[in-house]
Chains A and B, each alone.
Chain A
Amino acid sequence: VTDTAEWERPIPTLDGVSKTYWEAGARGELLFQQCPACGNRQLYPRAMCTACGETPEWVRASGRPARTPPARSGRRPWSCSRASG
């Protein structure tokens, strides 16, 4: 998302936490968070762990595909097809 002129969708307003997330995204990295105290993993990123309230750490996603439920065949995907321009 470097060329905002071609981007037809809303643009994030960076805050203290999302700045890290989106700047990593611009480098081609997907970050999520993991709590050093309880191990909880979360996305979207927050200033605290949703499970225990401690401060979470950033983890870079491996990039390996996750196991996902099979899609319903014959239906148009819900997600927007033009998101990537």
Chain B
Amino acid sequence: VPADRTPVIAGIGLSDYPKAPDLDGVQHHVLAMQRALADCGVKKSDIDGYVGAGGSGVMIDDPVTMAEYLRIDHRYIDSTMTGGSSFEFHVQHAAAAIKDGICDTVLITYGSDQLSRMGRTLGTGGFHRTGRRVGGPIQYEAPYGNSLVGAYAMVAQRHMHEFGTTSEQLAEIAVGVREFAGLNPNAMYRDPITVDDVVSSRLIADPLHKLDCCVISDGGGAIIMTTAERARDLAKPPAYVLGAAGAQTHWNISQMPDYTQSAAAICGPIAFDRAGLAPGDVDTIQFYDSFTVTVLMLLEGLGFCGKGEGGSFVADGHLRRGGDLPMNTDGGGLSSCHPGMRGIFLLIESVRQLRGDAGTAQVPDARIALACGSGGWLSCIGAVILGKEHP
């Protein structure tokens, strides 16, 4: 009988968040790795693949440096960097490598001390500071004052213009995520909020208010992937990778082909097709919530509702605790943890749900979870469908 090389996520680990002043970015990588190894019982010496995207901020944590620092003598390495969605792309790539026999056990790590080292000086996306010289394609946008939140605001404006979406509908997303944050003792903000709280919070980039925007935190995560065969001997039940896909429509916001359609509309159907599933089969979603409108775009792109219907869909409460599609059950980036690139946390929370380890935030009988990351400015979208049962 040939070995069962079905790719799985076997181990998960989080470093400390939302604020860990004693840890630098690399230490976040390390702590998350140590906890992922302890979680599943894999030995570090068993790891023969390393995947990362850097992103710690001040520290040097590019993947080849990290592979050396962690002393992973790999025969598979991937340094795909698509922004916050990098880790959804990583799972897609690592799953293919494992299935193909290039390697057996892959470690993915991320760590960032963004809050403790840089504070909130990023503001609305501080890569375009006064007097800074900007090269490459962003030189055609940055001189006019665009910002990170400004790019997402353009998308929200367009959605409102074309479909009548309202700020109150977007606010429903933040309210629902905050409800889950209240269940997570580590979440940065835990007090309940209302739609009125969101729409009356300070306007950051019209139409996005302060509470439409994610937090800035510290944090790190690690994932260990291997074959279903190896996972049988490990400490925790595996989460099976049923389908994974990613796509890119642009990088800089001026090049987005259609401001109301993201690459989720391309990679979503591919991921579902690979999994042999449809949106209606999904029990919980962990979506990149850099801003409330990000969620709206991913919902429509992946087909959880029709194009333009995202506003009424979220207002109907599907994503809330007790709804039929609970989202961001750890409190999300909007209320809990966003150290710069949140994609790895979407996968980790999906695995917690499938294991039944999510405590008071547990989605009853969660069997299929979907993690969807958005990198850049809704530029690179990666979708990973995970299952509790062997496909």
Contact = CB atoms under 8 A, between A and B. Distances in A.
A80 interface: yes
A72 B161 contact: yes
19 contacts: A7-B143, A9-B128, A9-B130, A9-B142, A10-B130, A11-B134, A12-B134, A13-B133, A13-B135, A13-B139, A18-B140, A43-B140, A44-B140, A78-B150, A78-B206, A79-B145, A80-B145, A80-B146, A83-B144
Nearest to A21: B140
A78 B139 contact: no
A76 interface: yes
Contacts of A82: 145
A69 B259 CA distance: 14
- Interface residues of B: mostly helix, strand, loop or mixed? helix
A18 B139 contact: yes
A31 to B, nearest CB: 12
Closest 7 CB pairs of A and B: A80-B145, A13-B135, A12-B139, A44-B140, A10-B142, A10-B134, A10-B132
Given A8-B131, A10-B130, A44-B140, 18 more contacts: A9-B130, A9-B142, A10-B131, A10-B142, A10-B143, A11-B143, A12-B140, A13-B134, A18-B139, A44-B254, A72-B157, A75-B157, A78-B154, A78-B157, A79-B145, A82-B145, A83-B143, A83-B144
B293 interface: no
A11 B132 contact: yes
Contact of A44 (B137, B153, B207): B137
Interface of B: 128-137, 139-140, 142-146, 150, 153-154, 157, 160-161, 205-207, 254-255
A48 interface: no
Nearest to A81: B145
Nearest to B145: A80
Given A10-B128, A10-B134, A12-B139, A76 B206 contact: yes
| Category for how many chain A residues contact B | 20 to 34
B73 to A, nearest CB: 39
Contacts of A80: 144-146
A9 B157 contact: no
B135 A12 contact: yes
B159 to A, nearest CB: 12
Contacts of A7: 143
A69 B161 CA distance: 10
B140 A79 contact: no
Contacts of B132: 10-11
Nearest to B252: A44
Contacts of A3: none
A21 B137 CA distance: 12
Interface string A63-75: 0000001001001
Contacts of B207: 75
Given A76-B206, A78-B206, A15 B135 contact: yes
